[in-house]
Structure 1
Amino acid sequence: MSQIIHSPSNLISDYVEIAGAGAALTNSGLLTLLSLFILRKYSHSFCPLTIPIVMMLSGFSFFGKNLANSAPILLGSLLYLHHKPAARQESLVMGLLSTCLSPMVSLIYLAPSQFLLQNKFIALVAGLVIGYISIPVFHYLKAHTKEMNLYNMGFSAGCIGFIGNFATRNLLNIRILPHRLNAAHSSALLIFLLILFTAPLMYALYVLKFDKALHKGVRLSLLKLVRFSIYGLIGLMVPLILQVPLNGLLVGTLLTFAGFSMYNFGFRYYFFPACGVLLSSLFIFHDVTSTTTIVILFFAATLSPFSRKYGLLTGILSGAIFAMISRHAHVLTAGINLYNCGFSGGVTVLLLDFLRHLLFRHALLKRTCSAAYQKLILSEQKILWQLSRCKDWIKQRLFPLNYE
């Protein structure tokens, strides 16, 4: 834990590489318990978004977040919510997500200085400011992306990270170094993920099968647990099939992917941005079996709302653009923003929405494109209907339960 706390924690600081699997799991567990304590302390009403955010916090604790660099940011968010009590229930979980900028705190307090407490004090103030402004910036940018980006806090943090990158590089003269990933603990991490994804599945199926007097809300919650486990096991199959060893980055990515499946991002809407990521990786970057590609592939789920609104072909295009931006987004924030894919998703949504408005300014192009677009949407709806029928048939065969 001491090695984790004294690491810069910028992307990609694999805590499994830095301190071993045991310390990485301990760090993730402590941060998860801390987040649950804060939610209970402020009487948060658990909603469908709560568990995905807790899982996201747990996942990123494998490669960037620790108790030391997250505490000032959490305190800043709580100070903001103390002054804005009306928005507390809605914004408390967003305050947890603002810890995505925690590497900035680590980079500052670990930087050498002439005075003993100078950088520690600057790091504390920076963390408080980041936590205080992250929530209002999130709500402002969320309106501009029209909720088409699932990981909106990553987009907000990327915008704040521009300033942080400038400050750490030019004002404090801090140089950020890259890190390596560690595949030596792949077997231990595989066992951990199998237990994590299998246990909720077995428990939920057991209760659904033998308890006939379940409340509707409890039944829906248990079905979300089944969904979490299935998406987690499907995600785990990808690195196993591609023979990519597990590391802290992949574990965090899989936890986030499985967690947000409970938020119903919709596999059929995620599938087409994922296809765009694979196509760009295959034909542009010629890199399909790497950790970077797998991470971008899973985080393409951020474009599911965009694909749902504008169609499947647009989803494939957005996935390809998203992959290209994600591979270069770290240049802008220098690893300070842990949610780089969320930032890339926001940029992708704004870029494509701008092109749509630019195209529709011309009356002739608007009429022509609108007619072609309507035909395309009708064709896509037929495809989705067929896919939905196949999914329902498979679900009934595998899990013959009452889903009403």
Structure 2
Amino acid sequence: MPDATEDAPAAATSDRFILSTVAGLAGAFVLFGLLVDGPRTALQGLVAIQLVRDTLVTDYIGVGGKGAAFLNAGLLTLVACGFYWRCRAKMTGGAVAALLLVLGFALFGKNLLNVWPIVGGVWLYCRLKGEAFGAHLNTAFFGCALAPVVSEILFSTTLSPMVTLPLAVATGIGMGLVLVPVAAQLFKAHGGLSLYNMGFAAGILGTLVVALYRSYGFVPAPVFIWTRGNNLLLGAFLFALFAALAALGLWHDRGAARHFRSILRMSGQAPADFIGAAGFGATLVNMGVSGALGTLYLVVIGGDLNGPTIGALMTIVGFAAAGKHPANFLPVMIGVFIGTLAKPWNAHDPSLQLAALFGTTLAPIAGRFGWHWGIVAGFIHSSAALAVGDLHGGLVLYNNGFAAGLVASVLGPVVAVIKGRKVEA
């Protein structure tokens, strides 16, 4: 059964207001990008970002500069918001999560050039099936996890653009075409215990596509661009942004604090929609608090604020509308941290910073089975996330989502048997 609360539900919020709020976040990224480096430098860097290979990990701050990275993220998200507005899509928690994943991952993998073949493939699926594109917009923009495949084909070979351009477009469209049924089928494997179902689906699909290309001699070369030294500026921006979200939530709904407490009692098991269950005001408070806690984790462990980690933080913020809250994701982060103590690495190593933040996709395990199982899930994830990248050659942006899908698919049924419960919500 879906989560329920004891409190009276908050008043419904219009889709227009919710979409405008997301667009406002994107606008803040654009403004920050233009101010921090100046329009000329930001635009020059923006061009460089479109033409780079996007294999994990490619920090756009290291490619085009802070201004260009934030400009790319904000502009791409505004365009995505335009799709939701044009299609009159329902602005559920899942829609907010999809748009904020565009905002976050456009700092290190999605750009104004490489996402459209994927989106086009989902559109083509809708045309062939006679279904409304608006009903599958979330899948289209979540599915842009596979966008690096498009960039890799375009820019990593010595082949003529006459060959690479149609090949990249056809591959992207083909992947988008099958995303809807693949994602629906794979959801059954973990029963909503991993929130990044598209990461699981994209990971498996990306592994198959990369295996196919590898068999013809196309082997993606590793990339690692990771910036440091921007914590003060970027931290101030993020904390201000998250405080603004929480303040907006309290202004929008006088009962937001009470409804936020009701969110903390929910399991978060997918499909979860905190906007529908507790109201947009409480959801905004949850988004602001969750983002601030994620940022604080990085500060405490001596981590880095850059494109990849801010992308991970925006993923926490986005899914704070659709399954995550401090009570269910903090145990997973603690589990990942404990996992680092038993490894020859440190919590502030890049891969483990990302594992702790993205691993919060396993929050429903803690929400459904208890905080201690969340710690176990995080501990296992700290190892799984380090192992699956070779399968897809770094061409799937949701690498942690892929790993977490595997963890949830195995751990979920085991814990359910131990506790004598069904996995289904």
TM range (shorter): 0.7 to 0.9
Give the CA deviation at 1:286.
4.2
Q: Structure 2 residue aligned with 1:33, among 58, 72, 78? A: 78
Matches of 1:210 and 1:276, distance apart in 2? 33
> What residue in structure 2 maps to residue 117 of structure 1?
162
Aligned: 1:321 with 2:321: no
> What residue in structure 1 maps to residue 407 of structure 2?
348
> What residue in structure 2 maps to residue 268 of structure 1?
327
> What residue in structure 2 maps to residue 12 of structure 1?
57
Aligned: 1:304 with 2:356: no
Q: Answer yes or no: is the 8 Å Cα contact 1:164–1:336 preserved in 2.
A: no
Number of residue pairs aligned between Structure 1 and Structure 2: 358
Matches of 1:293 and 1:177, distance apart in 2? 18
Q: Which amino acid aligns with 1:338?
A: L
The 1:269/1:159 distance shift into structure 2, 3 A limit, reads: same
Q: Structure 1 residue aligned with 2:171, among 121, 126, 131? A: 126
Q: Structure 1 residue aligned with 2:299, among 229, 240, 245? A: 240
TM-score of the aligned structures, taking structure 2 as reference length: 0.78
Q: Deviations over 1:226-270 (max 9, x none)?
A: 111111111111222223231111111111111211224343222
Matches within 5 A, 1:330-345: 330-345=389-404
Q: Answer yes or no: is the 8 Å Cα contact 1:107–1:174 preserved in 2.
A: no
The 1:206/1:132 distance shift into structure 2, 3 A limit, reads: same
Matches of 1:277 and 1:243, distance apart in 2? 15
Q: Answer yes or no: is the 8 Å Cα contact 2:222–2:393 preserved in 1.
A: no
> What residue in structure 1 maps to residue 201 of structure 2?
156
Give the CA deviation at 1:208.
4.1
Q: Which amino acid aligns with 1:303?
A: L
Give the CA deviation at 1:90.
4.2
> What residue in structure 1 maps to residue 342 of structure 2?
283
The 1:94/1:283 distance shift into structure 2, 3 A limit, reads: same
> What residue in structure 1 maps to residue 69 of structure 2?
24
Q: Which amino acid aligns with 1:112?
A: T
Q: Which amino acid aligns with 1:332?
A: L
Matches within 5 A, 1:59-138: 59-86=104-131, 88-138=133-183
> What residue in structure 1 maps to residue 90 of structure 2?
45
Unmatched 5+ residue regions in structure 2? Answer: 1-45, 257-274
The 1:225/1:122 distance shift into structure 2, 3 A limit, reads: same
Q: Which amino acid aligns with 2:192?
A: E
Q: Deviations over 1:297-316 (max 9, x none)?
A: 12222112233333443332
Q: Answer yes or no: is the 8 Å Cα contact 2:249–2:285 preserved in 1.
A: yes
Q: Answer yes or no: is the 8 Å Cα contact 2:190–2:409 preserved in 1.
A: yes
Q: Answer yes or no: is the 8 Å Cα contact 1:79–1:132 preserved in 2.
A: yes
Unmatched 5+ residue regions in structure 1? Answer: 361-369, 378-404
Q: Deviations over 1:273-323 (max 9, x none)?
A: 222211111123441223322221122221122333334433322221111
Q: Which moved more, 1:36-45 or 1:161-170?
A: 161-170
**How well do the aligned residues superpose, as a CA RMSD in angstroms?**
2.6
Give the CA deviation at 1:35.
1.1
Give the CA deviation at 1:337.
0.6
> What residue in structure 2 maps to residue 180 of structure 1?
225
Matches within 5 A, 1:186-225: 186-208=231-253, 220-225=279-284
Identical pairs, percent: 26
Q: Answer yes or no: is the 8 Å Cα contact 1:98–1:135 preserved in 2.
A: no
Q: Deviations over 1:28-65 (max 9, x none)?
A: 01110111111112110111211122111110110001
Q: Answer yes or no: is the 8 Å Cα contact 1:208–1:219 preserved in 2.
A: no
> What residue in structure 2 maps to residue 363 of structure 1?
none
Q: Deviations over 1:61-84 (max 9, x none)?
A: 100011111011111111112233
Q: Deviations over 1:103-128 (max 9, x none)?
A: 00001011334434101110010011
The 1:18/1:45 distance shift into structure 2, 3 A limit, reads: same
Give the CA deviation at 1:217.
7.7
Matches of 1:155 and 1:271, distance apart in 2? 22
Secondary structure of residue in 2 paired with 1:80: helix
